[in-house]
Chain A
Amino acid sequence: MNQPKQYRLVTVIKMTLVVVVFLSLFNSVDIIKWIYRMPVESGLRDFLIQVYEPVYAVCSKVPYTNLTASTREKYRNFAEIEYRATMDYDPASLLSVKKYPWLTPSDKKEMNLAAKIDSLAVNPAPDSVTIDESTVLQVLLIGDSMLKVGFGDNLQKALKEISNVDVTYFGKSATGLVRQDYFDWFQQLDKLCKGKKFHLIVIMIGANDAQGIRQDGKDIQYGSEPWIDLYRSKVNLFARMISNYSQKFYWIGMPPMLSKGFDGRMRTLSKIFEEETGKMPNGKFISAINVLGDNKGNYTAYIKSGGKQLLVRANDGIHLTNSGGELLTQAVIEKFKVDFKR
């Protein structure tokens, strides 16, 4: 076998430099996305945005510098790869037009939340829905890993056991309403509900949302007043969309979390979910704290049920075990039996 060639250090350094420059110019979309994904609090992120955003803004208008993005889209269409529409987004939509005037409005796909909210009317709904014996009840389950791990499968199974139900189930880990750049739940909801009207939509989301929001070239710190306002408007819009696509919907709050800090953040978000769901005539908020907390509403890994101690929380102190998912399922099914009658 041929022995590998030995290179002089200077040659290796020059080659490395060429590779770095080449990738900075021809892979600018991935790099700017990576920079945006860095923690908002990080000083390095601010520095890299200052340095690299202009490079990206120029590259995005130069032919062939973003060939990978279009080829990738074609490949994913050909290979029928799931999530392709939502994993990718156009970072140009996050740039400020004032700063980069050569970006045309078509490059900017900002979602005008206020306009969207106003355009969505909310259906009034009866207290309970009566369904014909022959009607197949259409149910949609959506959420992040809090739904996917331990809960979603149990709920799906329980719904199917009760009644003539067709369940559409879409869970996506590591997503939320904050990072539309990474995964656009609004778009996904539209896709899932296109041409359909669900009898019931169940949503459990929010575990990944305690982070900053980047909008119009600026970062909005998590927990600040503007953040709360913006997040509330996102939740409101999402609740309105769900409300329009369903006869009834249940928004499930976050359970107590093991880490005190994370628990506090999740309680803040759950409060927003509860308040915004309460504004919709067909929405009900289900508190996971009442189901999965101890008698003071605090975190507990074990809950006594049916004479047995059940391990309800996963080792990470965040997700649910199968038993935890079963308990939460029972709470949802109780509401379901009241709201849907045949």
Chain B
Amino acid sequence: MLFPTIDFGIFCLTVLVAIWSVSGKPAVQKYILLAASFLFIGYLDLRFVPVFFLTGCSSFYFGKKISATEDASKRKKLVVASIITSLVVLFFFKYFSLFLSGFNTFTALLGIEQRYSTHNPVLTLGLSFFTLQSISYVVDLYRRELTKSKSVFDVMLYLVFFPKLIAGPVMKASDFFAQLGSNEEKTGIKASQAASLILKGLFKKLVIANYLAIQIVDPVFQNPENFSSFDAIAGAFAFALQFYCNFSAYSDIASGIALLMGYELPENFNQPFRAKRLRDFWKRWNVTVTEWFRNYLYIQLGGNKNGRSLTYRNLFITVVLGGIWYGAGFNFVLFGILNGAGLVFERYISEKRDGVVDTLPMRIVSSLLVITFVSLSLVFVRAESFSMALDYFKTVFRFDFSSSFLTPLGFSIVMWGILSHFLPKDWGSIVRVNFEKLHPLSQAMTIGIAVLVIRTFGLDIEANINSFLF
């Protein structure tokens, strides 16, 4: 039951009706949302429910203990114990098969015949986001950014709130609880903003991302040697765009649904392809996750306070771990290493060269370099194996630009997809303001027509659950 499906639409509609029917009773609404979130988890796989429930209970327990004591050393031990518990659960369910696969390779090198099955019986969708938030909760209590522990229902709802469970955004515990507390004061629903977010998400996922996947990315990455270098490069750009559209679409839809329920989720993508530097790209890409890694890992490691070489080290470790967080595979490790090295190199260069002229041509060249670097590093994420990635790069370095399989439509979608990041950010609000001037009946019909248009030009694709094993 992933987002752009009728199943999810009906589930969501049922939850909304239930919540709206008890408007003015925020406590009841919370229970409904919590029950719906566990139903959502159970629908994905019933075996997920105890995993999320028990890990959530452990975070609640440690949080309660942390806020009950003033003893600094005890608080530290408790927060460490809570983080280790969350990470052990994440490691076991997400990374254990990767670990075993590495172990099997290692023993094979030593000539030992013992092998372990790398089959992972429970693929816990959304556990990565859940883990980041459970750590955020206990660390915020430890840092006293949260003054006191919350009820077990509030903590659980913060961790498993279903719109943001699968693909974020990640919320700071303090921000979420602030909204839980203010439920009584809510006067209206930002329905037009919610509709525009949901429609934008559906368009990005069904029309753009699925088109790119079927028409460009899948053919190129299945048999790169059958394509020209031009097509291979276009394939990498198309995959970067597909990855962005998929991921940001889920965030948009999540934010839209949450708004209808009376919750505001933070913005997760801020036109990342307009970034002039790699650092800027990561500030705009999956903003809430980048922020989390900055707040809870980079700064914790010492940030940039202990000299240049330690700053480089901290930056590199943070980005590599970020890469591993994105997915359980050596390809994601490589993706992290490439981006970590890229960021360190960029920082080194910028420290050496002050006062780079910020002209328009320079900005264009910088943006192009960033897009190219990110797209090529994502090749390791898309290719099914390391050898497939090498096949891909062999095709690129054949320097064969004699032909292309791209249709004018395919080319236009890739170009427009990237160039749209350079539009003024609030152009969408102009459409929304005009939409709000319509009669509510016309607004509803417009939404219906928009859905039909998206369905007409959108493409069905087999739900690739592995794309969302965050």
Could you list which residues of chain A lie within 8 angstroms of chain B, going by C-beta atoms?
A: 1-2, 4-9, 11-16, 18-20, 22-23, 26-27, 30-31, 34, 67-68, 71-72, 75, 78-83, 87, 153, 173-174, 258, 301-302, 304, 308-309, 311, 315-317, 322
Contacts and interface: CB of A to CB of B under 8 A. Distances in A.
A309 B115 contact: yes
B241 interface: no
Given A5-B436, A19-B448, A75 B191 contact: no
B443 interface: yes
Contacts of B20: 9, 12-13
Contact of A72 (B16, B429, B447, B457): B457
Nearest to B260: A12
A19 B451 contact: yes
A16 B444 CA distance: 7
A77 B443 CA distance: 32
Interface stretch (B116-124, B172-180, B242-250, B287-295): B116-124
Given A8-B189, A11-B191, A18-B448, 19 more contacts: A2-B432, A2-B433, A4-B190, A5-B191, A5-B192, A6-B189, A6-B190, A9-B189, A13-B20, A14-B440, A23-B451, A26-B448, A30-B6, A34-B7, A71-B456, A72-B455, A87-B460, A301-B115, A317-B119
17 contacts: A2-B432, A2-B433, A6-B187, A6-B189, A7-B191, A12-B191, A12-B260, A15-B441, A18-B441, A23-B448, A68-B452, A68-B455, A79-B215, A81-B211, A153-B222, A258-B119, A311-B118
B214 A81 contact: yes
A87 B460 CA distance: 8
A285 B137 CA distance: 59
Contacts of A309: 108, 113, 115
A322 B409 CA distance: 34
Contacts of B456: 68, 71-72, 75
Contacts of A30: 6, 455
Interface in B432-470: 432-433, 436, 440-441, 443-445, 447-448, 451-452, 455-457, 459-460, 462
Interface residues of B, number: 52
Q: Is the interface of B mostly helix, strand, loop or mixed?
A: helix
A71 to B, nearest CB: 5
Contacts of B16: 16
A311 B115 contact: yes
B13 interface: yes
Contacts of B358: none
B188 interface: yes
Given A7-B191, A7-B192, A12-B189, A316 B104 contact: no
Interface string B1-36: 000011100000100100010010000000000000
B214 A82 contact: yes
Contacts of A304: 113
B118 A15 contact: no
A187 B13 CA distance: 38
Given A12-B189, A12-B260, A81 B119 contact: no
Identify the interface centre among A22, A31, A79: most chain B CB within 10 Å of its CB: A79
Given A2-B429, A23-B452, A31-B6, A15 B191 contact: yes
